[in-house]
A and B are shown apart, each in its own frame.
Chain A
Amino acid sequence: MTNTSQELSTKHILGIKYLQKSDIDLILDNAVHFKEVINRPIKKVPSLRDVTIANLFFENSTRTKISFELAEKRLSADVVNFSASGSSVKKGETLLDTVNNILSMKVDMVVMRHPAPGAHHFLAQNIDASIVNAGDGTHEHPTQALLDAFSMREKLGSLSGKKVLIVGDIKHSRVALSNIFCLQKLGAKVRVCGPPTLIPKHIPSLGVEVSYDIEDSLRWCDVANILRIQLERQDIKYIPSLREYAQYFGVNKKLLDRLDKEIVVMHPGPINRGVEISSDVADSEHSIILQQVENGVAVRMAILYLLANKRNSSKLVS
């Protein structure tokens, strides 16, 4: 399972689409070591003590922001946090100006969440620092996909040939897109399931199966990754009501009991209990939702560690 190349092929983590399988394996293999580190009595290593990382969050986040910040602190990096509310963005400053101002204070890496898809690509072309995408609009959320893959791998071993179902709002979900790319690169089969209005038309062109029948899909899969209904992106009505959604696509205990096998249930959070997933499933032994959160820190540590390794600071040597 160990990767032989030992180095990422890229300086940025913009999306899973741009990573090679060897990069994904390298990150997941390293995350195993970092998971051991964060379970020690003293959960901190000095690897990144000369690295400064800016967390730029132009969109709300709880889990991802805390997870990145903990990962950075446990690697001993210096961390600055920035969120769009209460900043000069409100005064009309452009993204590039904001970031360049922050970088001129000698920042080595940028972790950014931004509502505009592609914002990270734009930055990567214009600045020198390494960029980690912590979510860009409805495009990609690569670190979530990597921690999902890590959690699945931990539970099931190799993902090659495994069947993974993604349920819910595929259209607005960056988690879905990153997961599809990641799982396919690791050799898993992917099916999406949800109301037709929330399944993008082009999705079969990615080599993904589409189904509108939740029970049949759950029967098919080894892992079900259940996505949140994104209330903030329902600017037009895609579904008649949350109650109806819960009725047709909500995963509950009754449904799981009808299957003749055990499946692993995942959710990237935050959960709308009683909508896409019922409490008795979210809190059951099938669910690895909290393990996902724990693994998130380890996977993000691996990503930051490998990127710092990649930068291999010429400024230190010269």
Chain B
Amino acid sequence: MARGRLIIKEERFKITLERLSQQLIENYGNFENTCIIGIQERGVFLAERLSQTIKSNLKKPKFDFGKLDITFYRDDFRTSQVPLQASKTEVDFLVENKKVILVDDVLYTGRTVQAAMSALLAFGRPKTVELLVMVDRRFNRHLPIKADYTGIRIDAVDDAYVRVELENIEETDRILIFSAKR
């Protein structure tokens, strides 16, 4: 793999994560009737970090935490050249009438988020759904989807690849950009 260019370093990443969690606290209070759902695979890691950060700022936030796999809902299932492998879905609560915060690492074409919203409907009819992403690649959208909470906005060419690395998975928190897809 070619070496990526560092766009966000550890200190800045932590500040951004802190800001995102404060924004959520501002809007959701103590997270009554709310759930945070990470999109597999890397959205889950980010969602885990986010919920840790919220818990360190708030005594007893009341949100439910879930992991959502969207493989079976992807619109490129039959056209993809690479076989799609599912991950685990762990949503052991109903989202019926709840406020949902969907979390993903990178918002790119918007297709993952679209699939996630269809997948979410299998768990009930949520009251509201908001989207939080660490990276918004704003000029590459295929669908009318935007994030409600954004870590950073990046303008990158189509075949670039943006990777969010997290301390709970990799060694350190950082965001990298690679000039071509891996």
Residues of A within 8 A of B (CB): 6-7, 30, 33, 36-37, 40-47, 50-51, 75, 305, 308-313, 316-317
Contact = CB atoms under 8 A, between A and B. Distances in A.
17 contacts: A6-B83, A33-B72, A33-B86, A33-B87, A33-B88, A36-B88, A40-B122, A40-B123, A41-B94, A47-B72, A47-B73, A51-B78, A75-B72, A305-B72, A308-B78, A309-B83, A317-B79
B27 interface: no
A41 B122 CA distance: 6
Interface of B: 69, 71-73, 77-81, 83-89, 91, 94, 118-119, 121-124
A41 B123 contact: yes
B114 to A, nearest CB: 12
B79 A316 contact: yes
Contacts of B124: 41
Contact of A36 (B77, B89, B118): B89
B106 to A, nearest CB: 22
A42 B121 contact: yes
A75 B89 CA distance: 16
Nearest to A46: B73
A39 to B, nearest CB: 10
A309 B79 CA distance: 9
Contacts of A313: 78-79
A33 B89 CA distance: 7
Contacts of B122: 37, 40-45
Contact of B86 (A30, A40, A310): A30
Contacts of B94: 41
B81 A312 contact: yes
Contacts of A45: 72-73, 119, 122
Counting from the closest, the 7 A-B pairs by CB-CB distance are: A45-B72, A42-B122, A33-B86, A7-B83, A47-B72, A6-B83, A313-B78
Nearest to B80: A312
A46 B78 CA distance: 11
Contacts of B78: 50-51, 308, 311-313, 316
A47 B85 contact: no
Contacts of A50: 78
Contacts of A36: 88-89
A75 B78 CA distance: 13
B43 to A, nearest CB: 17
A89 B75 CA distance: 39
Contacts of B123: 40-42
| B71, B85, B118: most-surrounded residue (chain A CB, <10 A) | B85
Contacts of A310: 83
A27 B88 CA distance: 15
Nearest to A74: B72
